[in-house]
Amino acid sequence: MNELKMSENSSSDEILPFAKMVHDLFSLPVTMRSKNKKGVRLEKGSVVDKDYSGPVLEEALQKNCIIHTIPSKGAYKGIPVVVCPIQDNKGNVIAAIGIVDVVCTIDLASVFGNYPQIVRQVEESKKVIS
């Protein structure tokens, strides 16, 4: 039986399937690390770093909360990102995963001008997240 497991001590090889799934799903750069070990960075369908950590990943691990920001340093300096902690069933942080925040960078009204209901849904979800 095949299975995937993740813990606060997971290596980059162990978290890679999770990061790859998110990368494939969104076609966006993805970074991920466990709490106690550096992780991975994926871009354009490839693993570009298997010993990766970034300032926003580390902040999300420390604060155990979702962070929407534009980093002032690191591989994604000046680019909007969103990073989310991954928690165990007790709420303890075990890892963090981040993506480039394209929703922050586009004018949703112009993209979805003919779909006002979609714009309202996205705007409401952004209020809940913030």
pLDDT score at 25? 94
- Rounded to two decimals, what is the model's pTM? 0.80
pLDDT score at 93? 97
Q: Show the tokens assigned to 24.
A: 């494939």
pLDDT score at 102? 76
Helices of type H across the chain: 12-26, 55-63, 102-105, 108-111, 116-129
Grouped pLDDT means (10 residues each) for the chain, 130 residues: 91 97 94 98 96 96 95 91 96 96 68 64 68
CA distance 27 to 127: 25
Structural domains in the chain, CATH included, are 12-105 (3.30.450.40)
pLDDT score at 2? 85
CA distance 40 to 19: 8
pLDDT score at 107? 63
pLDDT score at 125? 72
pLDDT score at 71? 93
Query: Which run of H or E residues covers position 46?
Result: strand 46-52
Beta-carbon contacts of 65 under 8 Å, excluding residues fewer than 6 positions away, are 85
